[in-house]
């Protein structure tokens, strides 16, 4: 894949990186003695570690390979997702949600996102339901990330894809099983640093290869006539323009890729858990200054370089990127890195992609494990030894489920699977999460029905209406005998666009009509918000 690269040297470098990863896991395992250590890193991480863990969990091979490939097909319009990631995924997430999430988590001794919802609404059903949704949907996202990492290893070492797949899963599974969230965060800090350095060089060298910033963008603009006929018919106007307003391509880019992920990050259990790991609320302010620039570089580079690969492939092979990759968007970025980048930097790029995959995948299997072993297992929540052990058992089940799902997913799936997962969590949980932090009157009944209605609306629309996502599961088309129950534009609008307003409306209406929660419990919740800067008091 990397031309004249010294393969034995590359193998040595990768093995050294894997050894460092295993050491981090061993180091964390020695310091993981309780379920709080395993599930929330003992609530003792500093701002830098928390920020890098949040950012590197957020950005994975899904963003770099999956969404980078989607940008190669759909153009610079995906840079709006960079804006959404920074404004919503970082500023709104940290300032509007993060501070109160940490304060409430500390007051109620919360260990997971479903635990936060369950304790806020004093409802075992809400915690169990949210835990079930994590256990069911997160393996889809984890499978997408695992696919991206395995595809990259496959290309670099020309090894069988299945072997790369197993190696990735085995390494991550080992250190998450023994070291828990501490191992995840320690490795995230290492992996995030590698990602930042590697992506910065990737960005610079892409423009060097294409003759400079102005020349590269002018060349890309001039290629508008090369847009494939099927994409042009869907509204694609060229790689430097937004798709035609209201077209199928516009709805896919805006509602699925930009809004689905941009809004969905607010309720991703893997990143929200990071707010529970710092000892003071002011640490979140400090983390904000690290996480923002990190996300800007990661997504900005991937979504800029993706479209520009068309220029390089056309100059060197006479094909646009999608054609050069055989129609599979998940293969565009690996193919470009392997063919266009200088061999002496191949080593760094390999580590960057491995870090991107492992940092996110480790967080995913960890959160699936805590959902299965803690949130869904009411009988072990009060027993320290049992909840520690069962979280580990749950992690192994989540790892196996992710591997099985990844083995049956179709090609060009990384970006779509990611958007489905992010969008679903926003539709089901965003209204009750926001209300739980800011609406004193909200009731358990309102929260329950909002969560359920968001779930039902999203799944129904995803399986039976949205044509692209229905094709992933194939259940709707098999039952109906046609791709969608509705025509354009409903068949291309993302389910989040419909399900989130339904979930929010149910919450507001029932919140006003039903009896508020117990006053004593509500005052306990608001006591946490009234003293956002205090030292932790809850046991860990």
Q: What is the 3-state secondary structure (H, E, C) of 405-470?
A: HHHHCCCCCHHHHHHHHHHHHHHHHHHHHHHHHHCCCCCHHHHHHHHHHHHHHHHHHHHHCCHHHH
Two tokens at 354? 């491995």
Q: Domain 7-377+385-413 maps to which CATH number in 3.30.70.100, 1.10.10.1100, 2.40.50.1040, 1.20.1730.10?
A: 1.20.1730.10
CA-based radius of gyration for the chain: 22
How far apart (Å, rounded) are the C-alpha atoms in residues 150 and 156?
Answer: 10
Query: How many of the other CB atoms lie within 10 Å of CB of 317?
Result: 12
DSSP 237-278: --TTSPPPTTSHHHHIIIIIIIHHHHHHGGG-HHHHGGGGG-
Domain range summary for the chain, segments of one domain joined by +: 7-377+385-413
pTM of the model: 0.86
| pLDDT for position 536 | 40
Q: Which two tokens stand for residue 231?
A: 């994409």
Question: Which two structure tokens, joined as six digits, stand for 294?
Answer: 């990190």
pLDDT given at position 321: 94
SS3 300: helix
Pairwise CA distance, residues 149 & 143, whole Å: 10
10 Å Cβ neighbour count for 375? 30
Question: Residue 250: its pLDDT value, please?
Answer: 93
From the list 176, 174, 195, the residue with the least C-alpha distance to 185 is: 176
pLDDT one digit per residue (tens) for the chain, 540 residues: 555 567 778 788 888 888 888 888 888 888 888 888 888 888 888 999 899 888 888 877 667 877 888 899 999 998 998 888 899 989 999 999 999 999 998 888 888 999 999 999 999 999 999 999 999 999 988 888 888 778 777 766 777 888 888 888 888 888 888 888 888 888 888 888 888 888 888 899 999 999 999 999 999 999 999 999 999 999 999 999 999 999 999 998 888 888 888 898 899 998 889 999 998 888 998 999 999 999 888 888 989 999 999 999 999 999 999 999 888 887 888 788 878 887 766 677 778 877 878 888 888 898 999 998 888 887 777 777 777 788 888 889 989 999 998 888 776 677 777 888 889 999 999 999 999 999 999 999 999 999 999 999 999 998 888 887 777 777 777 777 777 888 888 888 989 999 999 999 999 999 999 998 888 888 888 888 874 434 344 333
Distance CA 166, CA 156 (A): 16
Given this model, what pLDDT does residue 208 score?
Answer: 92
């Amino acid at each position: 894949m990397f031309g004249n690269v010294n393969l034995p040297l590359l193998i040595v470098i990768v093995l050294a990186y894997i050894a460092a990863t295993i050491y981090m896991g061993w180091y964390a395992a020695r310091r993981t003695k309780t379920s709080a250590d395993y599930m929330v890193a003992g609530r003792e991480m500093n701002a830098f570690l928390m920020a890098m863990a949040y950012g590197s969990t957020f950005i994975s091979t899904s963003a770099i390979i999956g969404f980078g490939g989607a940008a190669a097909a759909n153009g610079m319009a995906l840079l709006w997702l960079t804006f959404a990631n920074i404004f919503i995924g970082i500023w709104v997430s940290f300032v509007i949600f993060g501070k109160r999430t940490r304060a409430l988590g500390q007051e109620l001794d919360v260990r997971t996102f479903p635990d936060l919802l369950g304790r806020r609404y004093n409802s075992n059903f809400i915690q169990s339901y949210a835990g079930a949704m994590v256990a069911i949907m997160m393996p889809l996202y984890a499978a997408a990330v695992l696919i991206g990492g395995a595809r990259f290893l496959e290309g670099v070492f020309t090894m069988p894809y299945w072997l790369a797949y197993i190696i990735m899963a085995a390494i991550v599974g080992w250190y998450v099983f023994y070291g828990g969230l501490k191992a995840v965060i320690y490795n995230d800090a290492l992996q995030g640093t590698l990602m930042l350095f590697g992506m910065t060089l990737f960005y610079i060298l892409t423009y060097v290869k294409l003759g400079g910033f102005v020349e590269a963008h002018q060349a890309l603009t001039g290629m508008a006539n090369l847009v494939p006929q099927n994409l042009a018919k869907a509204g694609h106007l060229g790689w430097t323009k937004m798709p035609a307003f209201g077209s199928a391509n516009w709805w896919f880019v805006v509602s699925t890729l930009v809004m689905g992920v941009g809004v969905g990050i607010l309720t991703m259990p893997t990143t929200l858990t990071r707010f529970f790991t710092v000892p003071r609320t002011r640490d979140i302010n400090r983390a904000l200054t690290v996480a923002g620039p990190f996300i800007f570089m990661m997504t900005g580079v991937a979504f800029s370089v993706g479209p520009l690969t068309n220029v390089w492939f056309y100059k060197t092979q006479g094909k646009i990127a999608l054609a050069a990759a055989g129609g599979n968007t998940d293969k565009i970025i690996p193919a470009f890195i392997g063919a266009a980048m200088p061999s002496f930097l191949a080593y760094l790029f390999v580590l960057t992609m491995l870090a991107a995959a492992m940092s996110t995948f480790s967080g995913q299997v960890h959160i699936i494990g805590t959902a299965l072993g803690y949130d869904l297992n009411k009988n072990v929540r009060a027993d320290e030894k049992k909840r520690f052990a069962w979280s580990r058992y749950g992690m192994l089940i989540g790892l196996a489920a992710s591997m099985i799902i990844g083995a049956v997913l179709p090609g060009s799936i990384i970006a779509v699977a990611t958007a489905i997962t992010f969008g679903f969590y926003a539709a089901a949980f965003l209204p009750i999460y926001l209300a739980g932090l800011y609406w004193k009157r909200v009731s358990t009944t309102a929260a329950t029905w909002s969560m359920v209605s968001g779930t039902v609306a999203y799944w129904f629309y995803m399986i039976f209406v949205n044509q692209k996502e229905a094709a992933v599961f194939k259940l709707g088309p098999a039952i109906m005998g046609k791709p969608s129950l509705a025509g354009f534009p409903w068949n291309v609008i993302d389910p989040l666009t419909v399900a989130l307003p339904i979930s929010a409306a149910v919450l507001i209406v029932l919140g006003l009509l039903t009896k508020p929660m117990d006053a004593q419990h509500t005052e306990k919740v608001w006591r946490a918000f009234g003293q956002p800067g205090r030292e932790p008091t809850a046991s860990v």
